[in-house]
């Protein structure tokens, strides 16, 4: 586990096999999560809200500057690609053009990234829609292998990455007069991370957990006014799950 001053802790789990290009890939993922946490921390201190607590459409506001920094600006959003739907027998779709969320070039390798964003209740279980979104991201990437191979002609190879960002939250009623029990609970939050690694299908081969510094978690509480019953939402951590392909080369 790595400590980042005034940001929190990052716990990384990797099952990525050591093969061509994967050392660069792991370095990319580590840098990505660290910069994601630093950028989000600056936002929280400036605006007193958590950017990863919003919807999926707000996530690019964090991801784009992170990619710009770690790739020296060599990235694109909403990359046009040819999706080969005909490769999936259960889908009666014709091949067509579509978009992949991000492309970037990192230390000579190309990365095609499909992102999803969901939420996990601190005391809850993995939700069905989270598993569905995860499978969907992986399925979409499997349709663009030929596109990735084409890109690899001008690089050291390509990787396809399904990346799922999961915001952990805890909701309490203000009238109950107790503090959030999730903030700083390192062992319990890591247990959630491990549970996802075991149960998501297909199985991720890399994960990171950002456990927020207490000051950040207490400075980004969201208040829900609900008639006479008010509640607050806390965000003790953010999970990242990745399923990467083997390197693709022409």
Domains of the chain, by residue range, sit at 2-244
pLDDT (0 to 100) of residue 58: 80
User: Which pairs count as long-range contacts for 66-74, CB under 8 Å and 24+ apart, including other chains?
Assistant: 66/32, 66/35, 66/36, 66/39, 67/32, 67/102, 67/104, 69/35, 70/28, 70/31, 70/32, 70/35, 70/106, 71/104, 71/105, 71/106, 74/104, 74/105, 74/106
Average pLDDT per 10 consecutive residues for the chain, totaling 250 residues: 97 95 97 98 94 82 96 90 51 55 95 95 93 92 86 93 96 66 92 97 97 94 71 93 95
pLDDT (0 to 100) of residue 176: 53
Q: What is the dihedral of CA 138, 110, 73, 240, to 10 degrees?
A: 30
pLDDT (0 to 100) of residue 175: 58
pLDDT (0 to 100) of residue 85: 41
pLDDT (0 to 100) of residue 124: 92
pLDDT (0 to 100) of residue 111: 96
pLDDT (0 to 100) of residue 88: 44
């Amino acid at each position: 586990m790595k400590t980042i001053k005034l940001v929190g802790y990052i716990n990384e789990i990797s099952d990525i096999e050591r093969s061509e290009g994967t050392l660069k890939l792991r370095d990319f993922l580590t840098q990505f999560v660290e910069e994601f946490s630093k950028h989000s921390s600056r936002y929280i201190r400036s605006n007193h809200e958590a950017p990863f607590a919003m919807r999926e459409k707000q996530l690019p506001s964090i991801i784009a500057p992170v990619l710009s920094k770690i790739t020296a600006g060599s990235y694109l959003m909403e990359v046009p690609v040819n999706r080969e739907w005909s490769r999936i027998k259960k889908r009666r779709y014709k091949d067509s053009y579509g978009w992949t969320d991000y492309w970037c070039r990192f230390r000579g390798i190309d990365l095609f990234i499909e992102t999803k964003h969901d939420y996990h209740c601190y005391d809850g279980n993995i939700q069905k829609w989270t598993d569905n979104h995860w499978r969907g991201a992986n399925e979409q990437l499997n349709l663009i292998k030929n596109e990735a191979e084409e890109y690899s002609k001008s690089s050291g190879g390509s990787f396809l990455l399904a990346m799922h960002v999961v915001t952990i939250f805890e909701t309490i009623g203000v009238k109950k007069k107790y503090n959030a029990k999730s903030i700083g609970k390192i062992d319990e939050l890591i247990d959630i991370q491990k549970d996802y690694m075991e149960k998501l299908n297909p199985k991720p081969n890399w994960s990171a957990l950002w456990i927020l510094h207490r000051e950040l978690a207490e400075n980004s509480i969201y208040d829900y006014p609900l008639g006479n019953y008010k509640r607050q939402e806390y965000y003790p951590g953010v999970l990242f799950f990745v399923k990467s392909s083997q390197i693709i080369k022409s």
